[in-house]
Amino acid sequence: MNPKQSSDPRLRRRLMQAAPWVFFVGLIALWELVCRVADLPTFVLPAPSAIAQAFVDVEFSRWMQHLWATLRVALMGFFISILISIPIAIAMMRSELLQRTLYPLLVVIQSTPVVAVAPLIIVLMGSDDPSRVLITCLLTFFPLVVSTATGINETPAELIELSRSLDAPIRRETWQIRIPYAIPHIFSGLKVAITLAIIGAVVAEFVAAEEGLGYFIQFSTSFFKIPQAFAGLFFLAVISLLLFKSVQWTQQIFFAWSLPKKKS
């Protein structure tokens, strides 16, 4: 091969784009081959073809019912976390006393396993959406608070000094200087939080629910319908990936200036 061709940037870009798909397809093919050659029973490890058949066997309306139940709770918890965490991070930035008071409490909340707390929340609040949304919020708001506070604190000191020398009000300093500098950190937190939101919704469904993908997986495993459970798990992974990409696309469309510059 001509060395000049191997260093073609277009060819290299196409190879980079195709690599994850080639790896994924190869992995699925290897999985199918191992299951067929070893003749593994489906309750040990179902083959991808058995999982695909189980996915088709479940009615589409049933999938949509469980999908909406999980997605509804995850998105409500995610957006409520945004509404709570960003003001808390700004308040902590403006008050050292508040930061010293709240930060240890936030660490304690984050350090407490949600799986252990979830049954208590269900007992206190019932098994409806509010308790599941609260469980989701407990998982998602801490990364948002930390990432937003980190971004705000990394604002260049000379800009803050310039703002104060011009007698700019605190509100203007916050919204026109500190928040724009925190945008990349906020989106990093959002990417972590959106995946945690799905986990929080599923944990809540494991504890008490009558619908949702978490409930569907638990129901399927209890009746040894392992290919069906894998189908639900795969569906869950696809949703998490799409939500993660939606956060990425939001940043690319509305805050493209906050993205790191690509190397030429």
Q: How many Cα atoms sit within 13 Å of 118 on the Cβ side? A: 24
Overall residue count recorded for the chain in this entry: 264
The pTM is what?
0.84
Within a domain: 180 = yes
Domain membership of residue 1 (yes or no) is: no
b/e per residue 191-228 (b: at least 16 CB within 10 A): bbbbbbbbbbbbbbbbbbbebbbbbbbbbbbeeebbbb
Q: What is the mean pLDDT of residues 76-92?
A: 92
pLDDT-based confidence at residue 166 (cuts at 50, 70, 90): confident
Domain count for the chain: 1
166 belongs to a structural domain: yes
In a domain, 48, yes or no: no
Cβ(93)–Cβ(178) below 8 Å:
yes
Confidence label for 254 from pLDDT (cuts 50, 70 and 90): very high
- As a whole number of angstroms, the distance between CA 78 and CA 140 comes to 7
Does 176 map to a domain?
Answer: yes
At 80 the pLDDT is 95
Q: Does 150 reside within a domain? A: yes
pLDDT band at 1 (very low <50, low <70, confident <90, very high): very low
Give the single-character DSSP code of 39.
T
* 160 lies in some domain: yes
pLDDT tens-digit readout, 119-152 = 888 888 887 889 999 999 988 988 899 899 888 8
| Any domain includes 17 | no
Output the pLDDT for position 246.
95
Q: Which domain holds residue 145?
A: 63-254
For residue 236, pLDDT beyond 60:
yes
Distance between CA atoms of residues 239 and 71, nearest Å: 9
pLDDT band at 100 (very low <50, low <70, confident <90, very high): confident
| Residue 5 pLDDT exceeds 60 | no
| Residue 2 scores a pLDDT above 70 | no
Is 80 or 7 the better-scoring residue by pLDDT?
Answer: 80
Write the CATH number for 170.
1.10.3720.10
pLDDT category at 263 given cuts 50, 70, 90 is low
Mean pLDDT score across all residues of the chain: 87
Evaluate if residue 3 carries a pLDDT over 70.
Answer: no
